[in-house]
Amino acid sequence: MVTPSSKIGQGAARRRFWLAMVGFVMALTLLPFSYKVERRLETAVHIRGGESEKVDLELAQRFQSPYAHRLILVISGIPEPDSAEGAEALGFLTSSLRSVPGVSGAVSSVDWPDPLFTGDNGGALIIVGLDPHGEAVEALVPTLRAKADWMQGKLRAQYPKIKLEITGETPINFDIRKVSADDVRHAEERAMPVTLLLLLLAFGTLVAALLPLGVGVLSISMAMGASALLSYHLHLSILVQNLATMLGLGLGIDYALLMVSRFREALADGCDPGCAADLAAVQAGRTLIVSATTVAIGFSALLFVPISELRSIGIAGLLVTLLSVMLCTFILPWVLGLLGYRIDAGRLRLPGKRIKKRDTLCAPSQRWARWGGIVTRRPWTALLVAGIPLLILAFQARKIAIGVPDRGSLPATAQSAQALDTLQSMGRSGIVNSLRVVLELPSQSSTLSPSGWLAVSRLTKHFQSDPRAEEVLSLPTLSGMSDTPDGVDSAPEAIRKNFLSTDGQATLIELLPAAKLSPTDQIRWVREVRSSDVAAITGVPGAVLRVGGIPALNADYDSVVKERLPKVIVGVVVGSLLALLLGLHSLFAAIKAILLNLLSVGASFGALVLVFQQGHGSKLLGLGGATGAVFPIVPILSFAIVFGLSMDYEVFLVARILEERRRGLPETSAVIEGLARTAKLITSAAAIMIAVFIAFTIGSFLVVKMLGFTLAVAVFIDATVVRMVVGPALLQLAGDWNWWPYGLHGAPIIAEKELIPEAKHYGD
C-alpha cells in the first residue's frame, strides 16, 4: 500500500537535483533576513480582546496621556526632596529628562508634592513619560540610561553617593530582549561543541557528523529569516529566537540524523551511492513526514490561542519543523548522493578501539538486542518496574500552580531588576505594578460634574479602604479629596491629562499594590475589582470600569491559558491520533502512542513542580529557591512541543518493527530486532536534544529555564524509560493486536522495490 508519505519520499528520490535547487533558492532568499530578526521581534505581550490591552490603548488615545508609557528614574544619595538642595537636584534631573527627544513628560515632587515621589527610607523617584507616537518607546531605554549616567556624573562631585537607576515596564521589556539574545548566544556556544561531540560518537566520522549539525544551523537561520519577514505583518514575540534555536538544533539534527543513518545503512548493505540516497529519501522521508506532521499539529494548536507569545511560538515551531523536513528531504539526499562513500571520511579513532566501517546507527546492536530479549521475556515485570515510578512522578503534576512566580522572569543582575529592588526598599514598587482602573460614566455624563465627581470620590475611597492598596491616585487625590473638582486645576496639566479623558466621560484611578502583595495576589485583586458592583459603589447606574496595567495583563494571560489549555490538549491529542492512524494504519498503535506521550508529558510536569515550584534541587539550576508558581506559558507550550517531539521516537521504533514484521519475523523477534536497530538512533538523537535543552536551562531567563528543563526531562524519560522499556513491553503483550484493525497488510511499510524499482540504475 502506497501512502501519501511514501509518495512524497518516492518523489524526493526521483527528483533529487531539482528539489535540492528549490531548497537552495529558499535558503538564499531567507538567510539575509535572519540578521534582522532580533530587532524585529517584540517583548510586549498582546492578548487579542484582552481588557488590559484595551485600557493601554484607551490611555494613549482617548486620554492622550503623556504617561501611558512610562519608566521610573530611581534616585538615591541626594538630600531630602523637601530641602533646597534636594529640590535643586530634582529640578536639574527633571529638566534634563524633559529635553530628551521622545520623552513626553517628567514629573517629581517638585512638580507635584505627593508622598508617592519620596521613599519611606529616603530617596526619590521621577516618573518619565514616553511618547508612543515618536521613537519606539523601547528604543529610548538605552538613550535614557546614557542620560542617567551623564546626569549622575554631573552631580557626582556635589553628591558622591548619588545613584540613578531606571526601571518600569519598558526597561524590563528592553532587558528581557537583551537577556533573551544573550541566552540564545550562550546556549549556542554551549550546545554546538557538545552536539558535535555526540554526533562524532554516534557516527564515528567527521563528515557524517557535520551534516546533521549543518542542517540544524541552516534550519535555525532560515526560520529566523522567515520570522523577520512575517514580523512586518504579525506581532512576533522575542521568544521566537529562543524556540527557533532550541528546535532547530534539536529537531533539525534529529531528522538529519535519521536520513544520514539510513543512507549509511544502505551503503553498508551494498547499494551504490545513488541508490542509497534514493532509499534513504524513501525510508527516512516517509518516517520524517509522519513525525513532522505530529509535531506540526502541536504547534498549529498554539495558533488558536489569542496571545501573541504563544501564536509566535506556534509560527516559529511550524517554520522550524517544515524547514527541517524540507532540508532533509530536498537538499540532504542530493548532498548524500554527491558525497557517496566520502560520508565516512574523517573517521574517529578512539584509544584501543576503532569503529568498524559498517557500524551504522541503524545496524542491529547486540547489546540492545539482549535488552529487548529481557523486556519481551518479562513484559509485565518491565512494565510495572518502569511504569509505576513514572506514574508517581506524573501524579505530582496535579499540584502545578499556574501563575506568576514571585521571583519574576528577569535575573537579579538585570539593570531594571536591580532598580526595582531599590524601589521596593523605598516602599514604592507599586508604581511599576499599578492597577490602572478606568471608570467610564454613562453617556452625556462628565467626571467634573457634581454627580460625576461624587462617583469618582466614592470609588477612590472604596479603594483606599482596601489594605492591598499602598496608595490610590485619582483626580480627587490631586485635589486633596475635596468635595468639588476645583482643586484639580492646581495640578500640572500633564498630570490632569493622565487622569481625565479628552471627552471628560472617563477617568483613571491608579491602585499601587502593597509591597507584600505577590503577583498571584495581584491577579486575584484584579479579578475582584473587575467583578465589583460599580453602580452600587459609585451610586451611578450604568457606570463601568476596566482594569489595565501589568497585574491585569497577567490576569488576562492566566485566564486565557487556563481556558484554552484543555482545548489545546484535546486538539493535539485528536490531531496526533489521526496523523498516526494515517501514518501507521493501526488504531491500537496510535492509541498506545498517545497514552505513552501523555505519560511522558505528565512525568515532565511532575518534575517541573518538584524542582521549580517546590524548589527541590533548584540551586543546581542556579535558582535562589522555589518559584512558588509556574508561568502560564510553560505548561501549554511544553505540552504542544513535548507531544510532538515524543512522537518522533515512537514513529522511529514502531515503523522499524513494522518493517521487520512485513519481512516475515514473528512479533517477539520483530520487537527485538526493531529495538536493536533503532535504540542507538533514538538514544543518540535524544542525547543531542537533551544537550540543547540543558544549554537553555543554564541561561538566565526564567521562562526559558523552565521550558528547557521540562523539555529535557520529557525527552530523557521518553527516549529511555518509555520507548526502551514501557513501549516494547506493551508491544510484546499486545501481540497481533498491535496492528489492529488493518493488520500487517494495511500498514504503510512497503518493500523498497515497490517504491523505486529502478533505484539500482540511478547514478549520483
In tens, the pLDDT along 216-270 reads 889 989 998 888 888 888 888 888 888 888 888 888 888 888 888 888 888 888 8
Rounded Cα distance between 736 and 299, Å, is 33
Domain co-membership, 489 together with 625:
no
Final residue belonging to a domain, choices 488, 520, 548: 548
Band the pLDDT of 484: cuts 50, 70, 90: confident
Q: What is the pLDDT of residue 610?
A: 94
Give the DSSP H or E segment for 20: helix 16-30
Query: Which CATH number is 534's domain given?
Result: 3.30.70.1430
Q: For 505-558, how does the pLDDT look when each residue is reduced to its tens digit (9 = 90+)? A: 999 999 999 888 888 899 999 999 999 999 999 988 989 999 999 999 999 988
Distance of CA 303 to the CA centre of its chain: 13
Q: What is the pLDDT of residue 754?
A: 37
Q: Which residues constitute the domain of residue 641?
A: 364-397+566-747
Q: What is the pLDDT of residue 1?
A: 43
Q: For 585-600, how does the pLDDT look when each residue is reduced to its tens digit (9 = 90+)? A: 788 888 888 899 899 9
Q: Flag whether 47 is in a domain.
A: no
Domain co-membership, 691 together with 704:
yes
Domain co-membership, 348 together with 373:
no
387 vs 489, residue with greater confidence: 387
Weakest mean pLDDT among 130-144, 175-189, 378-392, 452-466: 130-144
Final residue belonging to a domain, choices 548, 578, 613: 548
Is residue 664 over pLDDT 60?
yes
Is residue 82 over pLDDT 60?
yes
Domain co-membership, 341 together with 438:
no
* DSSP letter, residue 517: -
Number of domains making up the chain: 4
Range picked from 184-193, 305-314, 546-555, 588-597 for highest mean pLDDT: 546-555
Q: Flag whether 557 is in a domain.
A: no
Q: Cell 527627544: give the residue.
A: 101
Distances (CA, A) of 87 to 84, 94, 109, 112: 5, 10, 8, 12
Q: Flag whether 220 is in a domain.
A: no
Is residue 757 over pLDDT 50?
no
Final residue belonging to a domain, choices 548, 578, 593: 548
Weakest mean pLDDT among 41-55, 73-87, 323-337, 352-366: 352-366
Domain co-membership, 235 together with 246:
yes
Q: What is the pLDDT of residue 15?
A: 61
Q: What is the pLDDT of residue 248?
A: 85
* DSSP letter, residue 610: I
736 vs 127, residue with greater confidence: 127
* DSSP letter, residue 118: B
Q: Name the average pLDDT for the chain.
A: 83
> Which 3 state secondary structure label does DSSP give 209?
helix
Domain co-membership, 255 together with 351:
yes
* DSSP letter, residue 365: P
**Residues with Cβ < 8 Å from 257, sequence gap 6 or more?**
199, 202, 212, 361, 681, 684, 685, 688
Q: What is the pLDDT of residue 742?
A: 63
Q: What is the pLDDT of residue 611?
A: 92
Q: Flag whether 758 is in a domain.
A: no
Rounded Cα distance between 355 and 346, Å, is 12
Tell me the percentage of the chain whose pLDDT exceeds 70: 90
* Grid cell locating 443: 453617556
Domain co-membership, 605 together with 717:
yes
Backbone angles phi, psi at 118, to 5 degrees: -125, 145
* Grid cell locating 367: 547489546
Distances (CA, A) of 165 to 88, 108, 144: 19, 15, 10
Distances (CA, A) of 618 to 401, 621, 625, 627, 628: 17, 5, 6, 9, 12
Domain co-membership, 357 together with 391:
no
Amino acid letter, residue 659: E
Rounded Cα distance between 344 and 342, Å, is 5
Q: What is the pLDDT of residue 761?
A: 33
Domain co-membership, 570 together with 667:
yes
Query: Which CATH number is 625's domain given?
Result: 1.20.1640.10
* Grid cell locating 716: 530523557
CA proximity to 283, closest of 305, 258, 303: 258
Q: What is the pLDDT of residue 756?
A: 38
Weakest mean pLDDT among 9-13, 115-119, 186-190, 283-287: 9-13
- Residue 696's Cβ-side half-sphere holds a number of Cα atoms within 13 Å equal to 29
Query: Which CATH number is 85's domain given?
Result: 3.30.70.100
Band the pLDDT of 760: cuts 50, 70, 90: very low
Distance of CA 476 to the CA centre of its chain: 43
Helices (H), 111-168: 140-156
* Grid cell locating 711: 523539555
The model's pTM: 0.83
Instruction: Give the CA angle between residues 487, 471, 556 to the nearest 5°.
Output: 115
Domain co-membership, 585 together with 685:
yes
Give the DSSP H or E segment for 163: strand 163-167
Rounded Cα distance between 419 and 426, Å, is 11
What value does the mean pLDDT take over residues 55-65? 85
Q: What is the pLDDT of residue 333?
A: 86
Rounded Cα distance between 117 and 107, Å, is 9
Band the pLDDT of 152: cuts 50, 70, 90: very high
Contact (Cβ atoms closer than 8 angstroms) between residue 739 and residue 748: no
Band the pLDDT of 762: cuts 50, 70, 90: very low
Q: Flag whether 416 is in a domain.
A: no
Tell me the percentage of the chain whose pLDDT exceeds 90: 21
Q: Flag whether 212 is in a domain.
A: no
Q: Flag whether 276 is in a domain.
A: yes
Contact (Cβ atoms closer than 8 angstroms) between residue 252 and residue 211: no
CA proximity to 64, closest of 150, 18, 141, 132: 132
Domain co-membership, 80 together with 145:
yes
Q: For 676-719, how does the pLDDT look when each residue is reduced to its tens digit (9 = 90+)? A: 888 888 888 888 889 988 988 887 888 888 988 999 999 999 88
Q: Cell 490631586: give the residue.
A: 478
Band the pLDDT of 497: cuts 50, 70, 90: confident
Q: Flag whether 111 is in a domain.
A: yes
Domain co-membership, 380 together with 461:
no
Band the pLDDT of 747: cuts 50, 70, 90: very low
Q: For 11-54, how does the pLDDT look when each residue is reduced to its tens digit (9 = 90+)? A: 554 565 666 777 778 878 888 887 777 778 777 788 888 899 89
Q: Which residues of 452-471 are buried (b: 16+ CB within 10 A; e: fewer)?
A: bbbbbbbbbebbeeeebbbb
